[in-house]
Amino acid sequence: MDIPIFNPRDERDKRPYGAVPCGTSISVTLRPPVQEGFAECTLVLCCEFAGTHQEIPLRPAGTEGGRSLFAGSYDAPAQPELAWYCFRFRRGDGQTAWLGRNGLCGEGEAVCWQQTVYDDALPTPDWFGRGVTYQIFPDRFRRTFIPDPAGMLGDRVVHQNWDELMDYLPDCNGEIRNRDFFGGSLAGIEEKLDYLHELGVSTLYLCPIFESDSNHRYNTGDYDQVDPMLGTEEDLRRLCARARERGIHVMLDGVFNHTGNNSRYFNACGAYPSLGAAQSTESPYLDWYTFQEWPVRYDSWWGIHTLPAVNESHPDYIRFIIEGEGSVIRRWLRAGADAWRLDVADELPDDFIARIRQVMMEEKPDSFLLGEVWEDGSNKIAYSQRRKYLLGRETHGLMNYPFRVSALDYLRGGDAQDFREAMETIRENYPRPAFYSCMNMLGTHDNPRVLTMLGTYPKEAPASRTERAHYRMTPEEYYRGSRLLQAGAILLYAFPGSPTVYYGDEAGMEGYEDPFNRGTFPWGREDRMLQRRFALLGRLRRERVSLQMGELRWLHAQGHVLAFARDWGDETTVAAINVGKDAANVIVPWTGQLATDTITGQQFQPVGGYVILCLPPMDGMLLA
């Protein structure tokens, strides 16, 4: 096996591993072949936010197995930073060579490694990453009666039959307004808290609950009012209290980049008695928005005219949302919420996010702030600006879409090595508290149902919207999707971060893109086998500290088979997964006595410190 000159994931070459707190001493050792004739080595470090460039000579440290050794150390910056580094070698004759992630190369060709430097002075609450999250689209989870929409905001229509298809075709103006409701409510969620507790849920993430004229409620009408179809503020307070009795925290969805045009603040439709920005230039909300031609042309989210964008830097808006005594952030934390999820965090200024975290710490020190980011959040560029989501003063954690993408690729037949590489990149780039606070998921309200994605692959989705609306998997597709989802659930629950279940994924719900991924929960028609798997894994996650906080140790990643361990003190849990169509053997180290598969109860006797597992096709084991 070829020994690399430098591997930042090997503690012999770089200590400590990955992201580091400000001021940490970082040691590096390089091992170029002796025949290269390198006499000098310099670490070249560039700090992006500070705009500084530093060159640190490394000392010759002898030879080892035909390799020259160069070693040294440097102190990480004293302030949060995104640093980039590579190495310059010089031979005795003065010629130079550069080393980066792309190997030895010429000057200007090296691809730098990333070094994340974060502020660890502000603690990250550990309850979120340790437990299981359950995401609910409130209109579609559970209703206790059929509501009457009379007098409510917008032209709402309520489906009388809970099980019928949602509206999905454009209206006469070519728009899909999402004005059809099924009447799911906060009381309905409260009614099913025992069900959620049996699933092992410790965080309940609710898509927006504030008054709005759409069923998804991402176009807020009034931040100070619970949507009346969901219930009242008292209903929310009671839900939070009853959830807390079962050890469940409530996370609210904060949509602060834009409002609805039919809102108290913009009021284009005149639905509210207040004077909105679209009604008068004397409106107290006028400067919350940016008009090119008042009142018809204005900044909006992705050009959608019903979602006018807000100026998050306006002092009055900051007071209203964040810093005022009765601000939106403070008000709903006081009502019982324990966390906020920031919708489209890419669209929110870093300072706006940092202010939210500061106020949350003041109001409820153990509260948690999550950001919606779809890429590696440690080096994300949004609108030509490098973001600072994870440097210790902004979000505590992010939605882990890289996990979702890589896990689905693997579950659908990809190489386990690619999944390991993608996750090692995240683990290396993220501060440890942020990595263990990721929201890991296979499905969300913004993606097709995971069961459909697994069962129908590689078949293309039907071309027409109507075909996709009515499509149901064949028995063969459903069987394949269900088996792979059971395997994926092991991966989801065993990996560091909070395993997150989109409501109904555990019950066998299927469907293509929005709105077909937002059907009503099939109470009484659930896939019991899937439910049992998710409930078992939820119980194990609750009971085993190694699954909550344990160090990640890769054991095998090749082809269809993936195996890794989670270690915490004397407790070890091993996940072994096979996504292939045939059974597969894998050998994993085991230092204890009998190894027990917690899924089936099967036991394995270790021989010479190893156990041999015969993994069933499209499934896995969780050894304890």
Instruction: Give the pLDDT mean for 356-385.
Output: 97
Instruction: pLDDT band for 307, please (50, 70, 90 cuts).
Output: very high
Mean pLDDT of the chain: 97
Active-site residue flag, 36? no
Measured CA to CA, the distance from residue 590 to residue 572 in angstroms comes to 9
Task: Name the strand (E) or helix (H) holding 538.
Answer: helix 528-543
CB of 283 within 8 A of CB of 277? yes
* Residue among 426, 428, 409 nearest 418 (CA): 409
Q: Spell out the alpha helix ranges (H) of 224-304.
A: 233-245
Residues whose CB is less than 8 angstroms from the CB of residue 459 and which lie 6 or more positions away in sequence, other chains included: none
19: exposed, middle or buried (C-beta count within 10 Å: 0-12, 13-18, 19+)?
buried
Supply the pLDDT for residue 171: 85
Q: Which of the following is catalytic: 81, 180, 343, 619?
A: 343
Supply the pLDDT for residue 1: 55
Measured CA to CA, the distance from residue 394 to residue 350 in angstroms comes to 7
SS3 549: helix
Supply the pLDDT for residue 593: 87
Instruction: Give the pLDDT mean for 136-158.
Output: 97
Active-site residue flag, 343? yes
Task: Name the strand (E) or helix (H) holding 67.
Answer: strand 67-75
**What are the strands, taking DSSP E only, across 246-387?**
249-254, 291-293, 297-298, 339-342, 368-371, 381-382, 385-386
Work out the number of other CB atoms within 10 angstroms of the CB of residue 413. 14
Measured CA to CA, the distance from residue 305 to residue 323 in angstroms comes to 28
* Residue among 327, 360, 309 nearest 224 (CA): 327
* Residue among 539, 546, 548, 557 nearest 624 (CA): 546
Strand partners, 97: 89
Give residue-wise pLDDT tens across range 86-117. 999 999 899 999 999 999 999 999 999 999 99
Give residue-wise pLDDT tens across range 155-197. 999 999 999 999 999 888 888 889 999 999 999 999 999 999 9
Strand pairing report for 52-64 and 38-47: antiparallel
SS3 452: helix
Q: Which of the following is catalytic: 81, 222, 312, 372?
A: 372
Question: Is the pLDDT at 406 greater than 90, yes or no?
Answer: yes
Supply the pLDDT for residue 174: 82
Supply the pLDDT for residue 30: 98
Q: Using alpha carbons, list the distances in angstroms from residue 353 to 19, 292, 306, 544.
A: 21, 27, 24, 33
Question: Is the pLDDT at 457 greater than 60, yes or no?
Answer: yes
Measured CA to CA, the distance from residue 215 to residue 138 in angstroms comes to 9
Give residue-wise pLDDT tens across range 459-508. 999 999 999 999 999 999 999 999 999 999 999 999 999 999 999 999 99
**Assigned token pair, 99:** 């080393």
Instruction: Give the pLDDT mean for 524-550.
Output: 98
